[in-house]
């Protein structure tokens, strides 16, 4: 959107991410507005594990046993990282509602319930 006032051009930036965020939904646990669920693992950690799996696949023809051992190790690393991330997410989520008065804080409790549901559904879709 462009407006001209006293000979100067002013440009207003449209924040698409903010526009997609439901008005009644507060920022995610990390305090940021996102158009989708917050990733369970940081991008760099996830990318590193994916590269290890890709390496295992690419070396399977030449060294199948070593490739399987590498794939198993990457799988173990992924499950460990996910367990730690889910434990931390659960801790933060519980802190968000545990000491709330159910009568006066129903909105916050509803957001916590929504987070539990979304995380659980994501686990079942994986």
Q: Tens of pLDDT along 30-84?
A: 444 455 677 888 999 999 999 999 999 999 999 999 999 999 999 999 999 999 9
pLDDT of residue 18: 42
pLDDT of residue 35: 57
The torsion angles phi and psi of 3, rounded to 5 degrees, stand at -130, 145
pLDDT of residue 110: 86
SS3 8: strand
* Residue whose C-alpha is closest to residue 115's, from 26, 11, 48: 26
Q: Tens of pLDDT along 81-120?
A: 999 999 999 999 998 888 877 676 788 888 889 999 999 9
Q: Do strands 2-5 and 8-11 pair parallel, antiparallel, or not at all (unpaired)?
A: antiparallel
| Element spanning 60, H or E | none
Q: Where are the domains of the chain?
A: 2-125
pLDDT of residue 2: 42
CA atoms of 108 and 97, how far apart (whole Å)? 7
pTM of the model: 0.62
Q: Tens of pLDDT along 1-30?
A: 444 444 444 444 444 444 444 444 444 444
């Amino acid at each position: 959107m462009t407006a001209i006032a006293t000979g100067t051009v002013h440009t207003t930036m449209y924040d698409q991410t903010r526009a997609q965020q439901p008005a009644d939904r507060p920022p995610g646990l990390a305090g940021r507005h996102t158009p989708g669920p917050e990733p369970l693992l940081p991008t760099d950690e996830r990318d590193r594990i994916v590269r290890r799996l890709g390496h295992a696949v690419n070396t399977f023809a030449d060294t199948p046993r070593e490739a399987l051992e590498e794939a198993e190790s990457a799988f173990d690393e992924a499950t460990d990282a996910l367990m730690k991330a889910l434990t931390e997410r659960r801790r933060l989520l519980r802190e968000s509602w545990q000491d709330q008065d159910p009568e006066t804080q129903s909105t916050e409790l509803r957001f916590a319930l929504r987070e539990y549901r979304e995380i659980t559904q994501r686990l079942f879709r994986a």
